[in-house]
Chains A and B, each alone.
Chain A
Amino acid sequence: MSDHKASRPMPEQITYANILFLGAWTGIALLVVTYFIYLTGILEPHSTIRAVIDSWTHGVHHYQQATDAPSGWGWAALLNTGDYLNFIGLALMALLTIVCYLVLLPGFIRQRDWTYTIICVLEVLVLCLAASGLLGSGGH
């Protein structure tokens, strides 16, 4: 077992923090920029704002049908539209933790801390499964 009582974090923890910082603020900045592009109509949206507003009082199934919204990673094919361009920032923020966990792995392997190595690998698998769209993405 590693010397986990050291009050200084392992270097990978600092790298994790740095990636999180840059990624989170890049994601938020992207959200603002792409939202501006969306609202100003610089890029034509996939669904009109009226269709979105008329449908957001109903459930997601109705919304998907009314706005022809994709499920799973279908949004990636619509990044040339104003509304789905916003998904770049959202997806970046949702992908950050997976990248950060991969950064932690070498630290735990170097310390021969196999318990936490396995926990990291399992967490990456869980997050990748969630992100894959295989679970609960349904269809329409």
Chain B
Amino acid sequence: MFHFEKARRALLPSLGLLLASPVGALATEGAAQVAGGGKPWWFWPVVLFFFCFVLGIIAVLAGVGGGVLYVPLVSGFFPFHIDFVRGAGLMVALAGALAAGPGLLRRNLASLRLALPVALVASACSIAGAILGLYLSSLDPAIVQVCLGATIVGIAALLLFSKNSAQPVVTKQDAVGLALGMSGTYFDPSLGKEVEWKTHRTLLGIILFIFIGLLAGMFGLGAGWANVPVFNLLMGAPLKVSVATSKFLLSITDTSAAWIYLNRGCVIPLMAVPSIVGLMLGSFVGVRLLSKAKPKLIRYMVICVLFFAGLKALDKGLNIGLLG
């Protein structure tokens, strides 16, 4: 049996050190001495790596996806055009979802029966969202900035006010849920027993994934912030199944949108690679800190940061200049 976890633990730290090291960067110093506001060319990739490392820690502690923090913050505080931030944001969210997926599938927490039908809708719509987002950006990037700002403020409000339900009561499964077999059983170690679940309001849930897919593709956001409430509060899936299925679902939804951005040339390796690896390393550190930190306080801090990032994107898009 191949020891996946051991291999992962051995691999990650060494990869991070390699990426963060300016030694490699110095080798091509002659190619580009100074760029981007008088800073050496390796400045932004190195800063981005450490920024994403911290972002990865915070994202885990706050219980949000990395993509939803990455896009508004990097587009607000780094010099990159929104096209490339969205492309990198999708790759960041995709890498995180791909890495988390295996464990969730093996433990049967991520439900294929719940994920597959909505994934088809969300991934098709995320393609449309990506094409629409790139079209709007080509017309005027300010349109995307304003829409992104409004979405981020909405996400912050959703995170602030939505209440999850560990075991929603579903008295009767609806016809669509029944036809799709959207039900299952998982073992909950905290309860020490197997928990059965089924969905209701399935059609409405599937319809909402049209909008979730569109937003994910348009802004390059991972859509866990929307997936979980729809699965849990609307369709009645248990919270653990909702969170796990949402993470797995991102690996499918983001794949389709990521290809649109990749094919369009919106993924620049110089900035995308340190973002992906920095955020992944940070999320592993975050998992280790989870038992010592105060996630509730950090969650409120992240909500404040999201409000600020959303307002900053609105400010930038509307060219008001209040927030710098």
- Give me the interface of A with B, judged by CB distance under 8 Å: 1-2, 4-9, 13-14, 16-18, 20-21, 23-25, 27-29, 31-32, 34-36, 38-41, 45, 48-50, 52-54, 56-61, 63-64, 69-73, 83-84, 86-87, 90-91, 93-94, 96-98, 104, 113, 115-116, 119-120, 122-123, 126-127, 129-131, 133, 135-138
Contact = CB atoms under 8 A, between A and B. Distances in A.
Nearest to A134: B263
Contacts of A71: 263-265
A41 B28 contact: yes
Contacts of A48: 31-32
Residue of A28, A91, A98, A136 most packed against chain B (CB within 10 A): A136
Given A86-B272, A97-B255, A138-B264, 5 more contacts: A4-B113, A13-B108, A60-B137, A126-B256, A136-B264
Nearest to B180: A115
Interface stretch (B19-27, B59-67, B295-303): B19-27
A119 B108 contact: no
Interface string B72-107: 000000011101100000010011001101110110
Contacts of B273: 31-32, 35, 86
Contacts of A113: 181
For chain B, give the interface size range. Answer: 35 or more
Contact of A135 (B94, B131, B268): B131
B264 A60 contact: yes
Given A8-B108, A32-B19, A69-B265, A50 B81 contact: no
Nearest to B90: A94
B35 A123 contact: no
A140 B41 CA distance: 27
Q: What secondary structure prevails in chain B residues at the interface with A?
A: helix
B24 to A, nearest CB: 4
Given A59-B81, A73-B263, A25 B7 contact: yes
A69 to B, nearest CB: 5
A9 B28 CA distance: 50
B213 to A, nearest CB: 11
B154 interface: no
B267 interface: yes
